[in-house]
Every structure is written in structure tokens, then in C-alpha cells.
Amino acid sequence: MQNIKNPLVTVLMTTYNSENEILRSINSVLWQNFGNFELLILNDASTDNTENLIEKIVDKRVKKLNFKKNRGQLWRLNTGKKIAQGKYIAFIDTGDIWFPEFLENMVEATKDGTRYAYCWCSGQIRKPFLSIDSTYADWLYQGVLADTATLFCESSLAKETKFISDGDGFFSDDLLTLNVAKKEKIKLVPKDLCVKLETSYDGTPHSSNFKLTASWAIGYFLTIKKDIYKHCGFIGLSRHNYLICLKLLQSFQMILFTKHLFLATFYYLLQHRTNKKYTRKINIASIIKSFTKNMLIGINYVTKR
């Protein structure tokens, strides 16, 4: 494979003790139809077989950095952005998979000068209304935004917009997108171009640990709560407490669920008594459907523990 001295795209992958997931993620990058990229793998002092696995990869587009001290995923991502050589930066976590046409679609989407783009992730809820014409309030109201594996960002913008943590780092991609949305238009590529299987940074599966993700969701909400009220009012606060309720139902934490259901209802009613409004339609049928679905997930989760 020819060494690319001036890659158009830098792909950043951080890893720590991810020996069971990392190769499928790396292969999904190397099998891209678009080949003008460098893949920076930042191994955050893994103690398992991760380093041995990545050292066996023979492809001059792959650059491996094996660190001796563990500093955490966000630290490594911010480090990787500083040394990226590409005009654009894309991110992929160990456990995520890009479809072969991911990079070519994202490169095409940014030819018009777009600095930040995202696509749909297969199997996840689509957000078709979050695109070029969306305001910062639109992005805030939505709640869970674009996943890391779907993001494609101009390097200069990525370098000036740091990954910041909500306390746990799980929603750092959402916080990054929100920080970009304050100053830039964000473009949607309306295609399923990636999939999340089982993402982990430390060898611990995240998507199946509902209690942990519920606590992260609460931390994320508290981080942006002031901005939600400022830009979306009580309807925004109602929306986010409702989203927390879904996470709490998945882990079957009924006391916390009752608390946030009360807050969601309280804020929803308050919107009718104030001039600070953000207009969005509320679909009661979809709320009941989502509550029922997540309740069943929670029951299944508890009975299998």
C-alpha cells in the first residue's frame, strides 16, 4: 500500500483494552472505497493483547501510537487532533464499523464548503430534521445527537473545538456537536453509513450496561441544563427529562424514573404559563410506545441479571 504523505482525511481511533473489538473496526476503515486517508491508532496504555494485534497490521496508511500512561479517551482524542495531517478528521470507536462507502460520501458532502457533517447510524433512530437549517436550539432540544462514528469534521474546526466531558465522557460526541452547532451549520448525509455493534473503551461493554448509561444521561443533561432553559425553555427541560426516563426504564430504576417523569410533566405544564417557549409538537402516542418498549427492555434486563 502506497504511503500517503498528504492525506485528505485523518481517521482517529483511540483504544484501551479492546482486543475483542478493535480489528473489525480497523478493517472497516481499511476497506473503504475512498483511500486517501491516514488512520491514527492511539493505544492508551492497554494491558491486554491490543498492542500486539495492531502491531501486526501491515498498511502504510496506519500509524500506531502506543502510550505508556493511560490518560483517558478524551485526552487521547484531543492529542490525536493536534497531530492529524488531513484536511478533515473522522472518528471511529473500537466496536464501531463503517460501511465501505462512508468516507466517499462524507468527502462528497463537504465539497460545497461544509465544515461539519454527519450521517445516519444503522439501527438507530434517525434525526432527519437536524441539518443545515437547524438552530442551536434545535440541536439542544433533540437530546441525543450524532454518534462519534457518524462525524466528519474539517481539521481546523476540530482542533479549535475540544472534546469535553460531561463527567464520564460517554456523551462527549454530543457535547462536541453542540459546541460546533453554536457557530457552524451542520450537514446531514441521509444514509446509513455505519453501525454500532458493541462499543467499549476499557473492555467493558457499554451498550448493555443500562444502569451506567442512565447515570451518564443524567450527567449529560446537568451539563447543558442552563443552555436548554435559555434556548428551549420549559419544553426543552421537559423533553430531556423524558429522555432520561427512557434510560431509567431500561435499567428499571423506578424511583428515579418516577422523579424524572414528574419533572418532565411539571416542565411541560409550565411552558403554558411563560412566554419563554420553543415550539415543537408532542406526539402522545409515540411517548406511550417508547415508554412501553423501554419498560420491556428493563424487565428483560433485570430478569437476566
Residue 165 has pLDDT above 80, yes or no: no
Q: How many domains in the chain?
A: 2
Residues 189 and 221 grouped into a single domain: no
CATH of the domain at 94: 3.90.550.10
Q: Is 265 part of a structural domain of the chain?
A: yes
Average pLDDT, the chain: 87
> Beta strands 96-98 and 187-196: pairing type?
antiparallel
Q: How many CA atoms lie within 13 A of 56 on its CB side?
A: 9
CA–CA dist 197, 121 (Å, integer):
11
Residues 56 and 98 grouped into a single domain: yes
Q: Is 203 part of a structural domain of the chain?
A: no
Asked if residues 213 and 174 have their Cβ atoms less than 8 Å apart, the reply is: no
CA–CA dist 268, 272 (Å, integer):
8
Q: Is 34 part of a structural domain of the chain?
A: yes
Residues 16 and 106 grouped into a single domain: yes
Residues 50 and 187 grouped into a single domain: yes
User: Structural domain of residue 275, as residue ranges?
Assistant: 210-304
Q: Is 147 part of a structural domain of the chain?
A: yes
Q: What is the pLDDT of residues 196-245, one digit of tens each?
A: 876 656 555 556 678 888 888 898 899 899 999 999 999 999 999 999 99
Lowest pLDDT segment from 31-35, 171-175, 223-227, 261-265: 171-175
Q: Is 252 part of a structural domain of the chain?
A: yes
> 60 is written with which cell numbers?
502504510
Residues 140 and 214 grouped into a single domain: no
